[in-house]
Structure 1
């Protein structure tokens, strides 16, 4: 039988039934590979499948979800998808969800609290079976996630510790990471280090600063408080870069003595490198610069940024697995929320080197 071209719309079981001259029920049994399909002649089954392929038929996932009472969907709410930090996280989440046959429903809050709230409600309305939140910035949490918990929807958050609110949490050990960066500069011979702290409302800021101070106390190194800066609140994906650029200009203008800059994250470090370069000085020949996160721009920049790597892809996989395990366990046996703290790693690249005076001494020996 010749299959005609349909005018518009998705191909349905009725379209295949008409084209194959079999009932909708027979077509449905064959294409769903139901047990009753074994009662249908092999020739008939092959004929129906051939027609379905020719018409470009795909099963109706929405209809299937109604029958199963399962959407097979995990909602992902990101604070800002344009941030390079989110890219490897999303890949990890996608990898973990795909293995279990789940689809992702991704929402981008664009660092806006109102959008964040609205999208949480949307994920509930769309019957997402689990929710993963990517948010390291501090927001007012009272009742924000309450509706999700009341609906027994499993949730995991990446970048925050909300285990006290019975939410599975995945984040890097920021204090260890801050200490790694400070120790690296100290071991290179730097003693006059400028520090750019993260925004006050970001939960990563304080533990990274605590790690830096721990190394300062252990080594007896002193920090010039006039060379300790703090980024303002996050207003967009370029906030860190712009802050690093501005502070680098201020440092050069002040003529304060420093040999290295320990930046809050990679984008801030890239801004510092730009500002120093504009001032006619070189990295790492004149000043060393470190970042944090190990996002792609840090690796491909010139100079490539020495940084503290977060295992972001692995953290995304972990978040997906936590939510999937909770979905499979069901509401009758909820597991206690757990904190998964990953270990950071120092990645040495070309933006750091011993101080210029020390290098001159070593080469003159």
Structure 2
């Protein structure tokens, strides 16, 4: 079953943790980092947890477990090795319409805790839906080495100047292109070098000169191949992720479309090639990057092959990204 990704603001909110061992320690540490008000129930507690209780960082609930404790909690985390108790507690939480995570038991849990890459305020979460937590952790380890440590500081700059960005760049497409220019420009390199003040000055200068960002009218005609996302070209993926508008042929496979930019405007492509070409021209003339998606090698086959040439008189560029033709494309010759 697919999970709905959710980042919870737990600052100052009560979370109930049941269990006092190493696993509970890791869960409590993450919750305290998020600013949660942790209440802990356990007959025995890890020495580090005991120290945090003595320091007033969390509250310990004494005596036998009281299901009413769940009522005051936004979330409940269960980290005991008693399967029958865990199941009963999960049932109590469900009856009270409260989310509960039973560590290492996806079937009993109503929320999962993902593997997290922290570049505060930027966070990336990876979940296997409880099916393969070690796989999620391995992916996190790989991404940790690939993601620039300075991305958090860059996200902080965007956050501090959010109001000014929206005021200076009210048009969404122009704002996207400005963001791309900042991300690909000198600001990140300055942050990486530890030159925070210089990075902020460069960021503000780019915001002051935001009108110089090109209007960005552009057309990309993308053949999406046989419907296998793994057979899309890198150029096609980049176009799909930079789109302001997606014109989507009804035969484009859902797994392919799932890779396109989520906040791009999506329109059904007209059946008539000339009508769709006119729609492409309308969007690009308005300064938008419009991406037209068709299955197979959609724009090198009749009757769509002449469209790029027909759009060649425009001031903005029109590019064709070839796709693999035919439903059997990519099949092994030994299949």
Taking structure 2 as the reference length, the TM-score comes to 0.24
Larger radius of gyration: 1
Relative to its length, the structure with more helix (as a share) is 1
Structure showing greater relative contact order (alpha-carbon pairs closer than 8 Å, 6 or more residues apart): 1
